[in-house]
Amino acid sequence: MTPFISIVSYALLPALALTSSSVWATYYKLSQKAKSAILHFAAGVIFSVVAVEILPQVVELHNWVLTSLGFGGGILLMLLIRHLTESNAPSTPPKTTTSLPVTFLVLLGIDVLVDGLLLGVGFAAGAKEGKLLAYALGIESISLGLAAATTLGNAGLTRGRSISLLVGIALVFIISAVGGATLLHSLPPSGLDLVLSFGLAALLFLVTEELLQEAHLSDEPAWLTATFYMGFLLFLLLGMLI
């Protein structure tokens, strides 16, 4: 098993990325093209980790029944989270207020909790997979922190209160990642197949239904699209070197 301290240190990467990007967003506002580039790059990175590291292990386990159950469970959970998010989304742009957006924070916490568990899945599969997934989720957390800070700012929360709430959300990620890696350690092949298939579905959903949908602009230049492939290639090469 990957040492506990090592898992904590790698879980800190996405947590720090979430916190630092949210702090940045409370002081500065990125352009739409800059946000789109980050989202494209993050999608390419996560897709690379899925295709190169996780998918081959699922195929190697070679149990179509367990793979179907795990993959289906992952899709159902992500669809449920999307349903809850959309059903609680305001139909009109929110006005500036000082009320705490409880629903948004709960859904953000669920999203981060799932990301943390996915990192735990990565370390359950192996140290290399866990490290690469930590880097990938770190990049994804940058875009998440930017979006979260903007939403809290629009809700009228002070800079200090917004940062405090997002630090708490980052701690949820660390706890879920460490807990997931600990609980999933020494799983039999059948259990590992279920967990990896679940993580595979959730990560694919994250790339195709969240990151790329948010990344696309109406007037998207070619260089923005290219950042997706840059992220994929970077982590493909990184997987060969680690």
Residue 5 lies in a domain: no
In a domain, 6, yes or no: no
pLDDT, residue 229, reads 93
The pLDDT value recorded for residue 96 is 45
At residue 242, the pLDDT reads: 67
Residue 4 falls inside a structural domain = no
User: Residue 136 domain-assigned?
Assistant: yes
Measuring CA to CA, how many Å separate 140 from each of 39, 45, 69, 81, 211?
Answer: 7, 9, 27, 18, 8
Contact 107, 88 (CB under 8 A): yes
**pLDDT for residue 100:** 62
pLDDT for the residue numbered 67:
93
In angstroms, the CA 138 to CA 143 distance is: 9
For every one of its 242 residues, what pLDDT tens digit does the chain have, with 9 covering 90 and above? Answer: 456 677 788 888 989 998 998 888 888 877 888 888 888 888 888 888 888 877 888 898 888 999 999 999 989 988 887 787 666 555 444 444 455 667 667 767 777 887 787 787 777 767 777 888 888 888 878 877 887 887 777 777 888 888 888 888 888 888 888 887 777 666 787 887 888 888 888 888 888 887 788 788 767 888 888 999 998 998 888 777 76
Predicted TM-score of the model (pTM): 0.73
**What is the predicted pLDDT for the residue at 5?**
76
Whether 236 is covered by a domain: the verdict is yes
So what's the pLDDT on residue 68? 95
Is residue 50 domain-resident?
yes
| Lookup: tokens for 184 | 């999933």
Nearest Cα neighbor of 119 from 138, 105, 143, 101 is 138
- Domain interval for residue 94: 11-25+32-241
Q: Which helix (H) or strand (E) covers residue 15, if one does?
A: helix 4-27
pLDDT of res. 2:
54
Q: Is 2 inside any structural domain?
A: no
Q: Is residue 1 part of a domain?
A: no
Backbone φ/ψ region at 63: left (φ over 0), alpha (ψ -120 to 50), beta = beta
Structure tokens at 111: 């999203």
Q: What does the pLDDT read at residue 39? A: 82
Tally of domains in the chain: 1
Give percent of the chain with pLDDT exceeding 70.
87
Distance CA 98, CA 51 (A): 44
